[in-house]
């Protein structure tokens, strides 16, 4: 896998106080780089980066990427956007603006500085897929006017903008399509299935299954995901993506609930609720491109990743923060 020479760079991470962003900031600092973390704290939290604030090469800026940003950096990871249905549907217009205006502003900054930029796209660009597992050349099956469209179509438009900037301005771009990711620092009330199940189990509440619980997802531990993002950024300019990053291990919601009950020691019951509109029935990444181009494969099994994740949420529940 061709890579650039490594030296201390300053990376801009938008959405850097979020779940994935905070882990990315941490890993970049561990690699000896500087990090400028930008977040408006709509869904991110200073608690996620509190342990980094005293690091000599870490800076934090409160900023909304829907407005232009003028800084000097060596590269940009654009992760800014609410990523859970509860959060992105709360203000759908702002969600679309974050994906589209945010992409335009960050691409403009990358063009001015002539630096590489990575877009954190999503498996949601595939919608409710008619192809399984999903390869990067699948164009998707998305409802453009549904309640999830603010996120799905916003991210699809962001990908369009990235490739247009690449073609028109020869800008070095990287596009990662991120599949379901879990781990410590997930927001306890973000409505995602892993955090939902764990918090409900730890509180002894009924675990909410939507539909019949037979819909499937693939769950990637955050450390694996961050390694993939960094490997994609460190490839030479010819590798633009889009590249799927996720764990191809597929689990039904009932299987996930069973794994959570086992790890938490909970006896919570399972309760079925109606399936939300446009909720995908299947989701599994084809990671052949990541394996061949990045030499990347996830290494953390769901059973292993749930251990620190449950530990994180157990602490939040015991402190009354979840």
Two tokens, residue 143: 């409802």
Closest CA to 178 of 122, 227, 238: 122
Whole-number Å distance between alpha carbons of 235 and 188: 34
CB 247 within 8 A of CB 183: no
Q: Pairing relation of β-strands 10-14 and 75-78? A: parallel
Give, in order, the Cα–Cα distances in Å from 234 to each of 9, 86, 255. 12, 33, 36
Tell me the pairing of strands 216-218 and 207-210.
unpaired
Of the residues 77, 151, 182, 221, only one is catalytic, namely 151
Distance of CA 152 to the CA centre of its chain: 13
Reading the block at residue 162, the tokens are 């990235």
Return the exposure string of 170-196: e unless at least 16 CB atoms fall within 10 Å of the residue's CB, then b.
ebbbbbbbbbbbbbbbbbbebebbbbb
Question: How is residue 83 written in tokens?
Answer: 């990523």
Pairing of strands 34-39, 58-62: parallel
Identify whether the C-beta of residue 214 lies closer than 8 Å to the C-beta of residue 252: yes
Catalytic (active site) residue 151: yes
Catalytic residue ranges: 151
């Amino acid at each position: 896998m061709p890579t650039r020479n490594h030296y201390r760079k300053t990376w801009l991470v938008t959405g850097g106080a979020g779940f994935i962003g905070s882990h990315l900031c941490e890993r970049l600092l561990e690699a000896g780089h500087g990090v400028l973390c930008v977040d408006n704290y709509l869904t991110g939290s200073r608690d996620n980066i509190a342990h980094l604030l005293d690091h000599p090469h870490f800076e934090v800026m409160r900023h909304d990427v829907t407005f232009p940003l003028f800084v000097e950096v060596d590269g940009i990871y654009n992760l800014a956007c609410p990523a859970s249905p509860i959060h992105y549907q709360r203000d759908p217009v702002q969600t679309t603006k974050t994906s589209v205006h945010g992409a335009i502003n960050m691409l403009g900054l990358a063009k001015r500085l002539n630096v590489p930029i990575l877009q954190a796209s999503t498996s949601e660009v595939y919608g409710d897929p008619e192809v399984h597992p999903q390869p990067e050349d699948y164009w998707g099956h998305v409802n453009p006017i549904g309640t999830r469209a603010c996120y799905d179509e916003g991210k699809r438009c962001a990908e369009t903008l990235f490739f247009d900037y690449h073609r028109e301005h020869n800008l070095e771009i990287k596009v990662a399509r991120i599949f379901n990711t879990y781990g410590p620092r997930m927001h306890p009330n973000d409505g995602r299935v892993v955090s939902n199940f764990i918090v409900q189990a730890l509180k002894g509440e009924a675990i909410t299954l939507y539909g019949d619980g037979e819909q499937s997802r693939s769950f990637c531990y955050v450390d694996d995901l961050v390694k993939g993002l960094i490997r994609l950024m460190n490839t030479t300019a010819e590798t633009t993506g889009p590249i799927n990053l996720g764990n191809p291990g597929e689990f039904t919601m009932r299987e996930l609930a069973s794994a959570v009950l086992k790890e938490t020691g909970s006896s919570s019951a399972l309760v079925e609720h109606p399936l939300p509109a446009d909720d995908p029935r299947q989701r599994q990444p084809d990671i052949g491109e990541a394996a061949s181009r990045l030499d990347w494969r996830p290494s953390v099994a769901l059973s292993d990743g749930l251990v620190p994740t449950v530990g994180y949420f157990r602490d939040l529940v015991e402190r009354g923060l979840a």
